[in-house]
Structure formats: C-alpha cells, structure tokens
Amino acid sequence: MKFFFKIFLFITIFFLSPYTLNAAEKVEYLKTDWSFKGLFGKFDRGALQRGYQVYTEVCSSCHSMKYLSYRNLSQKGGPEFTEEQAKAIAASFEVKDGPNADGEMFTRPGKLSDKFVMPYDNVKAAQAANGGAYPPDMSVLAKARGGGVDYIYSLLQGYEEPPAGVTLDDGVYYNKYMYGNKIKMSNQLSDGLVEYGDGTNATVEQMSKDVTTFLMWAAEPHLESRHQMGFKAIVYLIILTILVYFSMKRIWSRIKTEV
C-alpha cells in the first residue's frame, strides 16, 4: 500500500512542479501568468505565433534555433500555423543547398523540411560579429537556463542604467536580472517595435511574454501531451490505489484476530 502512495506522490509532484526554481536562486524574477504551467497547462496559440514573429524580426539576426524545422510551426501543440502559412514562412528564407550537377553550392527558397536558417555560418563568425561573445542558440534556452521562463522574461525587461560606482566596458550593458548584472547584448525591445497582425499592443512586456512562450514551446514541444499523460497516470493510480485498498481490506476481513 505504501508503495502505491509513494508512486502517486512522486508523479503528482513531478507533473505539478516542473517549473520550480532552484532553491539556491536568490534573484526575485518578474512574475506573470503562464498559460502552460500546471497539470492542465496549455500553450496560448496567439502568444506562440506572436512570439515567433518577435523571434524572427528581433532575435533571429543573432540567435539560431538549430533544432527547429519550419514544419514544426504547423504541428499540433505548437503555434499551429496552417500548412500553407508554414510553407510561405519557409519560402521567405533563402537556404544554401547543393552541390548541384556542376559541384557548386546554390541557394533556394526554404521548404518545410528545412531547419531554421542560421544567422551565421559558424561559431567564429558569430563571435566576430558580436565582439567576441557567442549568441546562444535558443532552441532549448528556456530549459537550459536557471530560472527558466521567468529568467528570460525578466532579463528582456531588466535593462537599466548602472548604479553609482558600477563601471561598464564598451559594449557591455547593465541588466539587473543577468548573472553578474553585465551583459553584452544590448536592449533589443522597445514599445511598438513590431506590428502584431492580430492587433495586440506590442509593449515590451507583451513581446517579452510572447517570445518567452515561444521559446518554452521550442524547448518542450510535447509539453501538452506530457500533461495529458500525467493526468491519465494520476487518475489510473488513484483508481488502482482504491482497488488495492478494498482488495486488501476484503482479504484481511477473513482473518480472525486472536484474542
């Protein structure tokens, strides 16, 4: 009986608390309501599509997402663009391919099967274009950073003038949520920077939330199905525990205790 209760407790904690911050984390991040949190959490489709727009128009010039393909944009549980929209998005990018019959590389419009186009040819080129700093790939950034989505959401809004006594080198900026408070990426967001097709007001806060939601989906594209599986597992364990309890009760009821 104790064994089943332990399993039930473990699964409940695992599925209800996947986003708990590390206990050693001392920074108090900005708070917002994430639609994908909790046992019944789901991604906001509008936020995912807006987040992809922010990534494309603001982030993709420096940051890659090498584990994503354009076909992922139309998959269930993701941004859920239509297949035609996803094809149009892919075709808007030039992809290097080849060699052709002459042994030469060539460019062509992107296809659904193509990975997201990389902003730089290699790591060295990325570092050379960014003062020696390598812009991290964003494919799994939301799961790789301590603090997860709260950290990214806060970082995008954490730029401010350095406090008195703090000096910064050229090309370095102050961000109160960055580890060490110094970051080489300048503030990329400003109100009205993008124009959302659905009419949503593109404030810094809204864009930060949208692109962070998109990055969370990129890092965990099967989150919704995992939540569904977790709920089914909990229901199954509850039923199993009840059946075991009554079975054991019936078996022990036949045994007479000695006085």
| Domain chopping of the chain, boundaries | 2-68+115-253
Q: Locate 18 and state its tokens.
A: 């996947």
What are the distances in angstroms from CA 144 to CA 45, 127, 181, 220? 23, 21, 19, 11
Question: What b/e readout covers 40-64, taking b as 16+ CB neighbours within 10 angstroms?
Answer: ebebbeebbbbbbbbbbebbbebbb
Task: Quote the DSSP letter at residue 209.
Answer: H
Q: Which residues pair with 96 in a beta bridge?
A: 107
Phi, psi of 95 (to 5 degrees): -115, 130
| Structure confidence by residue, pLDDT tens digits, 92-138 | 999 999 888 889 999 999 999 999 999 999 999 999 999 888 999 99
Task: Convert the pLDDT of each residue in 56-71 to its tens digit.
Answer: 999 999 999 999 999 9
Spatial separation of the C-alpha atoms in residues 79 and 46, rounded to whole Å: 7
| pLDDT confidence of residue 155 | 97
User: Tens digits of per-residue pLDDT, 166-186?
Assistant: 999 988 999 999 989 999 999
pLDDT of residue 27: 75
At the topology level, CATH places domain 2-68+115-253 in Cytochrome Bc1 Complex; Chain D, domain 2 (1.10.760)
Q: How far apart are CA 197 and CA 49, in angstroms?
A: 10
